A and B are shown apart, each in its own frame.
Chain A
Amino acid sequence: GAVVSQHPSRVICKSGTSVKIECRSLDFQATTMFWYRQFPKQSLMLMATSNEGSKATYEQGVEKDKFLINHASLTLSTLTVTSAHPEDSSFYICSAGGGAGNTEAFFGQGTRLTVV
């Protein structure tokens, strides 16, 4: 399958700071990328959908000003958690869809965010 790379895999940041997570499709052009969040012992919840060159669409209950999503190119989407709080500590994972012949989305490895 196609390869999606997510970076960093782990990050620790202080409360009040911002942290950026990158999601790259390495061998295909991703017209659409998705961001998920997973709290301990829970499932993955879709946060937002981003299409290259347009504003992201956020799921209900997700603060768009807190979770900034940029999809500036067909191979890169970024999620920035602004003014992070300990409650934002979670596992964030992206997926990417698109490219010739691909009929499903492919997932990155995930990012473990810890806010202290």
Chain B
Amino acid sequence: SQQGEEDPQALSIQEGENATMNCSYKTSINNLQWYRQNSGRGLVHLILIRSNEREKHSGRLRVTLDTSKKSSSLLITASRAADTASYFCATEAGGFKTIFGAGTRLFVKA
């Protein structure tokens, strides 16, 4: 079963622009993670944010978490063509069980 919804389902932007993806989930969580997946490939772990954290940065990535709204966002700044991929949020509510959102397909045009 999927825990959350992501929007937009698909996003097309120009290189250099920022991309924002949102994720909502249903139950209380221990942490939320964002992953990238290139077509036909495995998962690349981007960032983990714990339930007691509100914002984390990693390079061009910024993740926010609002536990009161059960939502998270991933911001990619100054996007590059190489950022073209599917992005998934995933929540862990205990026992290491990770549930994925539906994903956002990002296309960055050069």
Which residues of A come within 8 Å of B, CB atoms?
1, 32, 34, 36, 41-46, 49, 59-60, 91, 93, 95-98, 103-105, 107-110, 112
Q: Measured between C-beta atoms, what is the minimum distance from A112 to chain B in Å?
A: 7
Q: Lowest 8 A-B CB distances belong to which pairs?
A: A97-B96, A105-B96, A110-B42, A109-B42, A44-B100, A43-B100, A43-B103, A43-B102
A-B contact pairs, 25 of them (CB 8 A): A32-B96, A32-B97, A34-B96, A36-B100, A43-B2, A43-B88, A43-B100, A44-B43, A44-B88, A45-B2, A45-B100, A46-B97, A46-B98, A46-B99, A59-B1, A60-B1, A95-B98, A96-B96, A97-B97, A103-B31, A105-B92, A105-B96, A105-B98, A108-B42, A110-B42
CA distance in complex: A43, B95 (Å): 21
CA A32 to CA B97, docked complex, whole Å: 9
Q: B51 CB to closest chain A CB, in angstroms? A: 11
Return chain B residues, CB-CB under 8 Å to A112: 40
Residues from chain A with Cβ under 8 Å of B31 in the complex = 103-104
Q: How many A-B residue pairs have CB under 8 A?
A: 60
Residue of A nearest to B6 (CB): A43
List chain B positions with a Cβ less than 8 A from chain A.
Answer: 1-2, 30-31, 33, 40-43, 45, 48, 88, 92, 95-103, 105
CB–CB B98/A110 < 8 A: no
Set of chain A residues within 8 Å of B105, measured between Cβ atoms: 41
A43-B88, A98-B96, A112-B40 given as contacts; is B45 within 8 A of A107 (CB)?
yes
Contacting residue for A1 out of B42, B45, B97, B100, CB 8 A: B45
Which chain B residues lie closer than 8 Å to A103 at the CB level? Answer: 30-31
